[in-house]
């Protein structure tokens, strides 16, 4: 008698358990790396904001534009998971975290500490909920991801326009759209990194993907935090 193809044998059960354990370890690695990046950014921002010499050095003149665009330059030219080894991706990731920290140092001057704390906890709660949704939902979120990416492009266009207009109302609209867009990206990226994991990629391949996923989620979290902070600061 032939065994039913849907019958779970000890071998298949063991293989499934191994894959589940590997996936959990992979996801934990992604969130650990992302959390370390946020921590590095927070410490860097606080140190620079409370050190007048560093504040003047990095943000006290035209060099501020170099600081602002430096993370993008590193992401475009120094972060390629397809060709770079995991060790170099790690260095690039934490370099980006430091550069973001420098550029965000002014929030400790522009906003009250209570607003910063509230924004951080709200962003953390939103991020956790969206990640859980992206991990557990059975619905394909590719459509949501496409829509969210289009929203980010719209935000970039509005931001450029606002550089010339200088409208506080338009900035509020940008923040609201950004929060919606990066919320969608968070859920979508969580589902994507879960689906991309495979034991066949090997430790190095999965580690490279983990650094890429950590960077994507890190950027989403920073965007959520900064735009929530902007709205909270405006409401005071």
Question: What tokens does 13 get?
Answer: 């059960």
Q: What does the mean pLDDT of the chain come to?
A: 88
End-to-end CA distance of the chain, in Å?
75
Of the pLDDT bands very low, low, confident and very high (cuts 50, 70, 90), residue 131 is: very high
Kindly list the distances between the CA atom of residue 24 and the CA atoms of 10, 15, 28, 204, 210, in Å, as whole numbers in the listed order. Answer: 21, 14, 6, 17, 12
What's the pLDDT tens digit per position in 77-102? 999 998 999 999 999 999 999 999 99
Tokens at residue 122, please?
Answer: 């709200």
Separation of CA 174 from chain center: 18
DSSP 199: G
The predicted pLDDT at position 22 comes to 85
Contact 233, 70 (CB under 8 A): no
Say yes or no to pLDDT of 124 above 80. yes
d(CA 96, CA 40): 10
Instruction: Please tell me the predicted confidence (pLDDT) of residue 190.
Output: 94
Q: Does residue 198 sit within a domain? A: yes
Q: Does 40 reside within a domain?
A: yes
Of 56 and 13, which is predicted with more confidence? 56
pLDDT digits (tens, 9 = 90+) for 14-34: 454 555 788 889 999 999 999
- Whether residue 120 is predicted with pLDDT greater than 90 in this model: the reply is yes
What pLDDT, on the 0 to 100 scale, is given for residue 14? 47
Residue 221 CA to residue 179 CA, distance in Å, equals 10
Residue 112, pLDDT > 80, answer yes
Residue 2 placed within a domain: no
Does residue 235 or residue 45 have the better pLDDT? 45
138 pLDDT exceeds 80?
Answer: yes
Whole-number Å distance between alpha carbons of 100 and 97: 5
Q: What's the domain range around 201?
A: 10-234
Closest by CA to 30, choosing from 101, 135, 100, 123, is: 135
Report the distance separating Cα 109 and Cα 131, nearest Å: 31
184-202, pLDDT tens digit by residue? 999 999 999 999 888 888 8
> How far does CA 67 lie from the centroid of its chain?
19
Tens of pLDDT, residues 202-228: 889 999 999 999 999 999 999 999 999
> What is the SS3 assignment for 99?
helix
Overall average pLDDT of the 113-124 stretch: 94
**Position 111 in a domain:** yes
Whether the model pTM is above 0.75: yes
The string of pLDDT tens digits covering residues 31-79 is 999 999 999 999 999 999 999 999 999 988 888 888 888 988 999 999 9
61 lies in a domain?
Answer: yes
Q: Is 155 a domain residue?
A: yes
Is the residue at 3 inside a domain?
Answer: no
Task: For residue 220, count CB atoms less than 10 angstroms from its CB and return exposed for 0-12, middle for 13-18, buried for 19 or more.
Answer: buried
Total tally of structural domains belonging to the chain: 1
For residue 1, tell me if it sits in a domain: no
């Amino acid at each position: 008698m032939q065994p039913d193809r849907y019958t779970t044998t000890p071998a298949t059960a063991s293989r499934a358990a191994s894959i589940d354990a590997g996936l959990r370890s992979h996801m934990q690695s992604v969130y650990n790396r992302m959390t370390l990046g946020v921590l590095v950014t927070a410490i860097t921002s606080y140190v620079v904001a409370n050190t007048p010499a560093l504040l003047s050095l990095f943000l006290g003149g035209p060099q501020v534009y170099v600081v602002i665009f430096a993370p993008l330059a590193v992401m475009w030219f120094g972060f390629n998971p397809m060709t770079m080894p995991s060790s170099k991706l790690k260095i690039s990731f934490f370099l980006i975290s430091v550069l973001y920290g420098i550029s965000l140092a002014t929030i400790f001057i522009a906003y009250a500490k209570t607003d910063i704390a509230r924004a951080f906890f709200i962003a953390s709660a939103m991020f956790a909920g969206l990640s859980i949704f992206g991990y557990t939902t059975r619905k394909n979120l590719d459509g949501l991801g496409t829509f969210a990416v289009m929203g980010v492009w719209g935000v970039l266009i509005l931001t450029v326009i606002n550089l010339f207009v200088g409208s506080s109302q338009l900035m509020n609209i940008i923040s609201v759209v950004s929060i919606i867009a990066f919320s969608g990206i968070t859920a979508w990226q969580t589902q994507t990194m879960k689906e991309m994991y495979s034991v066949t990629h090997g430790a190095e391949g999965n580690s490279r993907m983990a650094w890429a996923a950590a960077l994507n989620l890190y950027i989403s979290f920073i965007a959520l935090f900064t735009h929530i902070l902007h709205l909270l600061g405006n409401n005071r």
